[in-house]
Chain A
């Protein structure tokens, strides 16, 4: 079992509630904008504390309101690819990639750069990257932090068609070659059908 999640959190007037269990591969969290998909990712990553519930990934309990378990965000080892990229603007691409790098990681920096097709961008500043390039750097940064699982929040939104294809292929390779559990948030039905092993509707 990769993701075993049952969380509830009040945000203003709405309550975000969500429960699902998934097998290996890529799980798509699918639903309209405003359904609270990003909030669910934040609760799994440890950036948002559920009011009640339980979060376990790969058998390890990260949060449990009943057993008062709350692993701090730094220790959860979530490879979080944010919708808005969130590259550090004061660091070059190379230093962004290396920010969370672990010695015993899945792959080295150069290997990851080749895998993602960003080897030629290493000395550039984030502000000089196109949307697709920035998104691939963000994926690389998450991969190099030696994550136990990946959280991807609409990594294709804001990209034009040609660039979507590039990033999409990268995600398919991640799913098939790296073997990490991936939780993938989207509101695009075709994207979800193309990528997902399991679909969770919110």
Chain B
């Protein structure tokens, strides 16, 4: 998982005022605290921050396939912005982002159902929903490709049973992007489900009991208690979800064969980055593209943090 979500989470959590018992600056306790943070901090610096700076530098160079970089100013950025495939990939990526966010309402709904009192086997359900998330994307992609297969796929069998026509789901440009999006939602829902279940657990039971005494039905309780009090968790999840969907790559890489006629309609920004950097020896433009994606993610996250003031309730 990327580092950004955890920093976003820390920020969201850090809205509270520092606790009264916080260690004084320079004290032994504080030094110990830094020591504990150090492994993550060093890892972040070495594996994320330093490469980020390097990428920024390389985005202004022509990157020789076998070494040797020449400074070419902003040419890479000009090339990226002029390239129609970049805009198409950006459009596809935004579609993945919107579809990916659908995992949140589904996860909230299921979490609310699983948190009903007296439900047996919650742990089993939770595990079942979580399994897709911890399954290797390669396995997920391959199995779904079989399900989607136009000639003998299970999904077509079911659709045919209802009288619909057979389709080549992942190689038809009009359906491919949604086919992949569906798999994304399927494989990430479990992750958000676990987060939401924990969030709901944190809501005091008293509220529900009081509401029940006042005659509020289950739906009413969900919309007036669960949702508002879960909003900080929802916000956290939506930030992560958006960032992850904007970085979609593995499923597309696995599910879309090279000769798939729908490849242009499904290629994400990161897929394009991969193709440029590792297949076509265009590391310079690829670095520029990666940097632009980072700016887009930063901008959208900023917008989310702005908007959260209107809908997130910190109890």
Are these two chains actual partners, yes or no?
Answer: no
